[in-house]
Amino acid sequence: MTPDQIATKADVEAVMKKLDQVERLLTKASITPPPRWITVRDYASRVDRSVATVRRWIRNGQLETNGKLVKNPDIA
């Protein structure tokens, strides 16, 4: 082994500290599915169109709606 292949105690401790930080972050993290229905404004933002265009699509029956909400385009 060459000297650059040998980990020092400080190296190992630094790696362990980073792993502890990652573990804490992962423990706090949660994955939630995207909402099925979103506002017209959110929909317009996601598809890069104006709110007026999205409202026109709704009037023309081109989008699935649920009350004042529109089906999220990110959900297949």
Predicted pLDDT of residue 25 = 92
The whole-angstrom separation of Cα 49 and Cα 36 is 19
Q: Which tokens hold the place of 30? A: 């949660």
Q: Is 25 contained in some domain?
A: no
- Find the domain containing 42 and state its range: 37-71
How would you classify residue 19: left for phi > 0, otherwise alpha for psi between -120 and 50, otherwise beta? alpha
Answer yes or no: are the C-beta atoms of 68 and 40 closer than 8 Å: yes
Q: Is 3 contained in some domain?
A: no
Q: Is 49 contained in some domain?
A: yes
User: 10 Å Cβ neighbour count for 43?
Assistant: 24
Q: Is 1 contained in some domain?
A: no
pLDDT tens per residue across span 50-65: 999 999 999 999 999 9
Q: Is 20 contained in some domain?
A: no
- What pTM did the predictor assign? 0.59
Predicted pLDDT of residue 1 = 57
Tell me how many domains the chain contains.
1
Q: Is 32 contained in some domain?
A: no
pLDDT tens per residue across span 27-56: 988 888 889 999 999 999 999 999 999 999
